[in-house]
Structure 1
Amino acid sequence: MLIDGCQLTITATGVAGRGISCDGDITVQSGGVTVQASGGGGTYTDPTGVVDAYQGPCLNADDDLLLAGGTISLTHTGSGGKGIAGDSDLTIGTAGAGPTLQIAVSGASISIGGGEYAEAKGASVDSVLTVEGGTLTLTSVDDELKAKVRLVINGGTINVVNALEGFEAPNLYINGGEVHINTTDDGLNATYGVYGEASDGSILNISGGYVHLTAPAGDGIDSNGSLTISGGTVVVHGPPNQPEVGLDVNGAFLMQGGLTAVSQINSNMNEIPLGTSTQRTVLVRTSTTINAGTLFHIENASGATLLTFRPNSRYSAVLFSSSALTAGVTYRVYTGGTCTGTLRDGLYTGGTYSGGTLRTTFTSTAVSQTVTF
Structure 2
Amino acid sequence: MNTIKRNRKNRLSKLAVVALCTAMLAACGSNTTATTSTDSTAAATNTSQTTAASVQTASLDLSNSKVEYDEDDAYSDWNASEATTIKLNGTTATVEGTGAETKDGSVSITAAGTYVVSGKLDDGQIVVNVADEGVVRLILNGAEIHYSTSSPIYVEEAGKLILSLPEGTNNVVSDGTAYELADASTDEPNAAIFSKDDMTINGTGKLTVEGNYNNGIASKDKLKITGGTFEIHAADDAVMGRDLVAVKDGLFVIDAKGHGIKTTNDTEGEEGLIALEGGTYSIESGEDALHSTGGLLVSGGDLHIAAGDDAIHSEIALLISGGMVDITQSNEGLEAGSITIAGGEVHVVSSDDGVNAASGSSDTDGAAGEMPQEGAAPADMPPADMPPADMPQDGTAPADMGQGGGPRGGGMPGGEGSSNNLLTITGGYLSVDAQGDGLDANGGIAMSGGTVVVNGPTMNGNGSLDYDSTFEMTGGVLIAAGSSGMVQAVSDSSTQAGILMTYPQTQQAGTLIHLEDEAGNAIVTFAPSKDYQAVYISSPDMKKDTAYSLYSGGTSNGTETNGLYDGGNYSGGTKVVSFTAASTITWVNESGVTEASSGFGGRGRGGDRQVESTQS
| TM-score of the aligned structures, taking structure 2 as reference length | 0.53
- Does 2:237 match 1:60? no
Alignment match, 2:502 = 285
The answer as to whether partners of 2:558 and 2:565 remain within 8 angstroms in 1 is: yes
The answer as to whether partners of 1:91 and 1:131 remain within 8 angstroms in 2 is: yes
Alignment match, 2:279 = 99
The answer as to whether partners of 1:266 and 1:287 remain within 8 angstroms in 2 is: no
Superposed, 1:5-154 pairs within 5 Å as: 5=203, 6-14=205-213, 17-37=214-234, 39=235, 56-76=236-256, 78=257, 81-87=258-264, 88-93=272-277, 98-106=278-286, 120-154=287-321
Higher strand proportion = 1
Deviations 1:248-301 (A, max 9, x none): 11111111100000101122x211222211111110111111111100110112
Give secondary structure in 1 for the equivalent of 2:260: strand
Deviations 1:106-131 (A, max 9, x none): 3xxxxxxxxxxxxx111111110000
Deviations 1:315-350 (A, max 9, x none): 111100011111221000000111111111010111
Give secondary structure in 2 for the equivalent of 1:82: coil
Deviation at 1:74, TM superposition (A): 1.2
Superposed, 1:285-364 pairs within 5 Å as: 285-364=502-581
Give the counterpart letter for 1:248 in structure 2. Answer: D
The answer as to whether partners of 1:135 and 1:157 remain within 8 angstroms in 2 is: yes
Give the counterpart letter for 2:356 in structure 1. Answer: N
- Gaps of at least 5 residues in structure 2 are 1-198, 265-271, 366-408, 411-416, 591-616
Deviation at 1:72, TM superposition (A): 1.4
Stretch of structure 1 that moved more, 140-149 or 195-204: 195-204
Equivalent-residue separation in structure 2 for 1:332 and 1:240 (angstroms):
25
Give secondary structure in 1 for the equivalent of 2:311: strand
- Does 2:453 match 1:256? no
Match of 1:241 among 443, 447, 459: 459
Higher helix proportion = 2
Give the counterpart letter for 2:442 in structure 1. Answer: N
Give the counterpart letter for 1:211 in structure 2. Answer: L
Give the counterpart letter for 1:264 in structure 2. Answer: G
Deviation at 1:7, TM superposition (A): 2.1
Alignment match, 2:200 = 2
Deviations 1:140-166 (A, max 9, x none): 011011111100001000000111110
Equivalent-residue separation in structure 2 for 1:305 and 1:23 (angstroms):
56
Equivalent-residue separation in structure 2 for 1:23 and 1:158 (angstroms):
28
Give the counterpart letter for 1:11 in structure 2. Answer: E
- Does 2:342 match 1:175? yes
Deviations 1:66-121 (A, max 9, x none): 01101112111x3xx1111102100001xxxx100121013xxxxxxxxxxxxx11
Structure number with greater CO (CA < 8 Å, separation at least 6) is 2
The answer as to whether partners of 2:543 and 2:584 remain within 8 angstroms in 1 is: no
Superposed, 1:195-214 pairs within 5 Å as: 195=363, 197-198=409-410, 199-201=417-419, 202-214=421-433
- Gaps of at least 5 residues in structure 1 are 40-55, 107-119
Provide the identity percentage. Answer: 33
| TM-score of the aligned structures, taking structure 1 as reference length | 0.87
The answer as to whether partners of 1:226 and 1:251 remain within 8 angstroms in 2 is: yes
Deviation at 1:365, TM superposition (A): 0.9
Give the counterpart letter for 1:149 in structure 2. Answer: I
Equivalent-residue separation in structure 1 for 2:313 and 2:484 (angstroms):
30
Give the counterpart letter for 1:63 in structure 2. Answer: D
Deviation at 1:171, TM superposition (A): 0.4
Equivalent-residue separation in structure 2 for 1:221 and 1:326 (angstroms):
24
- Does 2:443 match 1:225? yes
Give secondary structure in 2 for the equivalent of 1:194: helix
Give secondary structure in 2 for the equivalent of 1:165: coil
The answer as to whether partners of 2:347 and 2:432 remain within 8 angstroms in 1 is: yes
Give the counterpart letter for 1:101 in structure 2. Answer: Y
Alignment match, 2:586 = 369
The answer as to whether partners of 2:245 and 2:262 remain within 8 angstroms in 1 is: no
- Does 2:331 match 1:164? yes
Equivalent-residue separation in structure 1 for 2:466 and 2:491 (angstroms):
14
Deviation at 1:243, TM superposition (A): 1.0
Alignment match, 1:49 = none
Give the counterpart letter for 1:210 in structure 2. Answer: Y
Give secondary structure in 1 for the equivalent of 2:540: coil
Between Structure 1 and Structure 2, how many residues are aligned? 332
Give the counterpart letter for 1:100 in structure 2. Answer: T
RMSD: 1.1
Give secondary structure in 1 for the equivalent of 2:228: strand
The answer as to whether partners of 1:255 and 1:281 remain within 8 angstroms in 2 is: no
Give the counterpart letter for 1:203 in structure 2. Answer: L
Deviation at 1:174, TM superposition (A): 0.3
Alignment match, 1:44 = none
Equivalent-residue separation in structure 2 for 1:356 and 1:101 (angstroms):
42
The answer as to whether partners of 2:556 and 2:569 remain within 8 angstroms in 1 is: yes
